[in-house]
Amino acid sequence: VDLDRAHQTLEANLIEVYEPQYRSLILMRLFQVSIEQVKPKEVAVIVKNLFEAGLVTKQHVRRGLVRLFWRLEDILLDYPKAG
């Protein structure tokens, strides 16, 4: 995973689309990728960088995790290794 490229791409998209709901959806998808591909450290670094850059807030992170929780059962059915 090229963390710098991922951060730059996400940063550009988050700046372009200034919708708080979009930010929590992006974070939910990042967390989902973390589960599916078993890459939690890489995703944690990306989220940390976005937070430090001021592009996401604690509330966005919380909402992203809540959204992920709502989908967790389906994710675990699709990716049994995630459990």
Does the pLDDT at position 81 exceed 70?
Answer: no
| Whole-angstrom distance, CA of residue 2 vs CA of residue 72 | 26
Q: What is the pTM of this model?
A: 0.76
Q: What is the pLDDT of residue 58?
A: 94
End-to-end CA distance of the chain: 22
pLDDT, tens digit, 9 for 90 and up, residues 36-64: 776 788 888 888 988 998 889 999 999 99
CB 61 within 8 A of CB 51: yes
25 burial type by CB count under 10 A (0-12 exposed, 13-18 middle, 19+ buried): middle
How does DSSP assign 2-24, residue by residue? -HHHHHHHHHHHHHHS--HHHHH
pLDDT, tens digit, 9 for 90 and up, residues 8-38: 888 887 878 777 788 888 889 888 888 777 6
